[in-house]
Structure 1
Amino acid sequence: MKTPAFWYRPAGLAAWTLAPIGALYGLAGRLRMAKGTPYEAGVPVLCVGNLVAGGAGKTPVCIAVAEALRARGVAAHFLTRGHGGRERGPLPIDLARHGADDVGDEALLLAEHAPCWVARDRAEGARAAEAAGAGAIVMDDGFQNPGLAKNCSLVVVDGGVGFGNGRLVPAGPLREPVACGLARADAVVVMGEDRAGVERLVGGALPVLHARLEPAGEAMDLSGRAVLAFAGIGRPEKFFATLEALGARVVERVGFADHHPYRPEEIMALADRAAGLGAMPVTTAKDAARLPAALRSLVRVVPVRAVWREPALLDRLLDTVLTRGGSHGQAA
């Protein structure tokens, strides 16, 4: 579904009406977290999660963390649930064989950078990654999953909207109360300008790392170009703003629900609409993974990467994790 607009406005009638359901959602989450004993992997497990439903920039942060580990000689493997895919795993991603219908869009993006495992059961996925030679596991999402013990948990927050109206799903965007989530975290990553006062809310209780999403590849040549932008991510507005920051003339914006599975007729209609406007259809790399293969050439893809304001802060955090996390394998 699309992110409800009222989640990111001061709590009103809709939020108050849905608050009892949110209380039940929170109770169910607490009971789930209390169940069982998490599996302790033999290699460091770094979880990149968030406290809200929808995108906050987790996947680019995962990739940046894995690259930093690789620079230290650590063979990092990704672990993800494979949201939107049919496979339950544990399954290693094969980019030549798997598509978004199989393993979800995020897994495909991760697998372009390092070995990636899809597993609904995170403990089983961790065991499979260890057996395959992982020196560390970078888990995309799963902060609220109790099945696998984490050596380090990074909570990623969109600096533009923070924690929204502060209510639990469906009354607001929160998967769990902010205080409960931050109590289990090792650091907070604020993506973009902190207009929501996230760092002030954290109040020095945790390290706060700042990062931004920066277009990669040949995106700079979109400056001055007319584009029809479409995206099915947590907050499509972030993508539209990125294009405007590049200097692109965004003549039309089309937002879809997160993980929207694009049909051929939808892409043809978007391409025709763009042609009528004298524009180029553009989308995110995450959306591109869900485009019909035969029509991908009609759409310009704008990949992004996470860039740290102070890389030394991440370095110190990783040094601590690797020291206390025990032995690790060497990168190939």
Structure 2
Amino acid sequence: MQAPGFWHQPPGLRAALLSPLAALYAAATARRLRTGPRDTVGVPVICVGNLNAGGTGKTPTVIALAECLKARDRNPHVVSTGYGGALDGPVQVSETGHHAGQTGDEPLLLAAFLPTWVAKDRRAGARAAVNAGADLILLDDGFQNPTLAHDLSLIVVDAAHGFGNGKVIPAGPLREPVATGFARADLLLSIGPEEAQTGFADTWGQAVTLPHLTARLVPLPTGLPLTGLPVLAFAGIGHPEKFFATLRAMGADLVRVEALSDHQPLTETLMTRLQKEAKRLGAQLVTTEKDAVRLPKGFRQAVMTVPVRLEFDNAAALDAALDRVLGIQV
């Protein structure tokens, strides 16, 4: 499902008409978050969440945080609900033993980097991770969940899209009002190139009431030069156009693009059609790292994957926050 276009436009008539429903949604979220004391599991919990519905860059943020924590000699585990997966859990994800239909695509991708657990009940997932040796929990997308206490809460936002029209679902893209979310968070991370960061600061800078980090996604070398390569690119992520822009910046000749819904299943029928079109156009099929884990086995050799990694512009505030959570004296 793609977000309605009016969510990312100045508030108009449609947003106004939906405001009563948005108020009910915001009230329901606030009521859920007032359910009482949250549980602890004996190790620090770092929540990587967002205010927007849909993709903002949480997965590369979790990977980057995991690397920071490993450099501090910690053994972090990820706990995720496994959006779109069939497993209730808690179960540790096996990169080779599970498929995306069971775990969801993001946990399957994360499992290649660090131990990852799928659990519809986040408390049960965190306890299972601790029992398996985790000394820190990275909670993937749990900011609006009231069950676990957070030692550090990080809100991730796409700098180019910001918080849309600033309205709550269904009038806008937000799960809760910006000010309400900021009041519970410790850090804000906006992801995007310099131009997008400038636009975000111009639009939302005055609303930011917590330390603000900036970062960008940088593609990793694929071993196959993209410059001048005819490409049929497809992506089922929150904002597919970001991936297509990355490929153009790498010099690829995008002869066609296919923007899919976030987490859309890559069926045999869909992939057969895309493969035939690529052959007709003399183009290489290219997709994202997250989409690649959903590919049917028979198509994995035919599709080129372009992975990206998060690079912080200035990680001082993040380093300080991590040191505080870990009890490291500077």
| TM-score between the two structures when normalised by the length of structure 2 | 0.94
Q: Is the alpha carbon distance of 1:69 and 1:199 closer, same or farther for their aligned partners in structure 2, counting shifts above 3 Å?
A: farther
5+ residue gaps in structure 2?
Answer: none
Q: Establish whether residue 276 from structure 1 lines up as the match of residue 280 from structure 2.
A: yes
Label 1:58 to 1:264 Cα distance change in 2 as closer, same or farther (>3 A).
same
Question: What amino acid sits opposite 1:267 in the alignment?
Answer: M
Identity of aligned residues (%): 50
**In structure 2, C-alpha distance between the alignment counterparts of 1:92 and 1:125, rounded to whole Å:** 9
Give 2:10's aligned amino acid. P
The 3 A distance-change label for structure 1 pair 109 and 207 is same
Shift of 1:292: 1.2
* Aligned 8 A contact 1:219 1:302 in 2: no
1:247 aligns with 2:251: yes
The secondary structure found in structure 2 opposite 1:190 is strand
State the one-letter code of the partner of 1:221.
P
Residues 54 and 258 in structure 1, CA contact (< 8 A), matched pair in contact too: yes
In structure 2, the residue matched to 1:300 is 304
Q: How does 1:124-273 map to 2 (within 5 A)?
A: 124-192=124-192, 193-194=196-197, 195-197=199-201, 200-203=205-208, 205-218=209-222, 221-273=225-277
1:175, 1:61 → 2: CA distance? 20
Q: 1:269 corresponds to which letter in structure 2?
A: R
Matched residue SS, 2:180:
helix
**Greater length-normalized contact order (CA 8 Å, ≥ 6 residues apart):** 1
Q: 2:77·2:129 contact (CA, 8 Å) conserved in 1?
A: yes
Structure 2 Cα separation of the partners of residues 111 and 202 of structure 1: 36
- SS for the counterpart of 2:33 is helix
> C-alpha displacement at 1:63, in angstroms?
0.6
Once the 2 structures are TM-superposed, how far is the Cα of residue 220 of structure 1 from its aligned partner?
A: 6.8
For 1:277-302, what per-residue CA distance to the aligned partner results, in whole angstroms no more than 9, with x for missing partners? 22111111111111112212221111
Q: Which whole-Å deviations, capped at 9, do the CAs of 1:237-272 have from their partners, x for residues lacking one?
A: 111111111111112121111110111111111111
Report the Cα offset of residue 41 of structure 1: 2.0
Distance 2:206 2:102 in 1: 39
Tell me by how many angstroms 1:219 deviates.
Answer: 6.5
User: Per the alignment, do residues 128 and 318 of structure 1 end up closer, same or farther by CA in structure 2, a change over 3 Å counting?
Assistant: same
How far 1:200 sits from its partner (Å)?
1.2
Check the 8 A contact 2:79/2:126 in 1, yes or no: yes
Q: Given that residues 109 and 290 in structure 2 are in contact (C-alpha distance below 8 angstroms), is that contact kept between their aligned partners in structure 1?
A: yes
Contact conserved, 1:79 with 1:139, CA < 8 A, in 2? yes
Q: What root-mean-square deviation, in Å, do the aligned CA atoms of Structure 1 and Structure 2 show?
A: 1.6
Whole-angstrom CA distance in 1 between matches of 2:71 and 2:327: 16
SS of aligned partner of 2:205: helix
Quick one: which amino acid aligns to residue 291 of structure 1? L
Q: Are positions 1:288 and 2:292 aligned together?
A: yes
Partners of 2:9 and 2:164 within 8 A in 1: yes
Mark the runs of 5 or more structure 1 residues left unpaired by the alignment.
325-332
Residues 80, 139 of structure 1: 8 Å contact kept:
yes
Question: 1:199 Cα shift?
Answer: 6.0
The alpha carbon displacement at 1:316 in A equals 1.7
Structure 1 partner of 2:47: 47
Instruction: Describe the SS at the equivalent of 1:196.
Output: helix
Preserved contact between residue 74 and residue 136 of structure 1 (Cα < 8 Å): yes
- Aligned-partner Cα distance in 1 for 2:39–2:176: 22
> After superposition, what is the alpha-carbon deviation per residue over 1:145-183, rounded to whole angstroms, capped at 9, x for unaligned?
110000001100100010001111111100000000011
Deviations 1:194-222 (A, max 9, x none): 1222661344x311111111112416711
CA distance 1:259–1:286, change in 2 (3 Å): same
Once the two structures are superposed, residues 89-110 of structure 1 have per-residue CA deviations (whole angstroms, 9 ceiling, x without a partner) of: 1111112211111010000111
Q: Is the 8 A contact 1:44 1:150 kept in 2?
A: yes
| Aligned residue type for 1:15 | A
Distance across 1 between alignment mates of 2:146 and 2:131: 21
Distance 1:256 1:287 in 2: 10
Residue 37 of structure 1: how far off its partner (Å): 2.6
Q: Residue 330 of structure 1 corresponds to which residue in structure 2?
A: none
- Paired with 1:12 and 1:156, the residues of 2 have a C-alpha distance of 26
Letter of the 2:61 counterpart: V
Aligned residue in 2 for 1:79? 79
d(CA) in 1 for partners of 2:259, 2:115: 31
Letter of the 2:164 counterpart:
G
- Which is worse superposed, 273-282 or 106-115? 273-282
Structure 1's 219 and 312: CA in aligned 2 closer, same or farther, altered over 3 A? farther
| Alignment-mate amino acid for residue 11 of structure 1 | P
Equivalent residues of 2:285, 2:303 under 8 A apart: yes
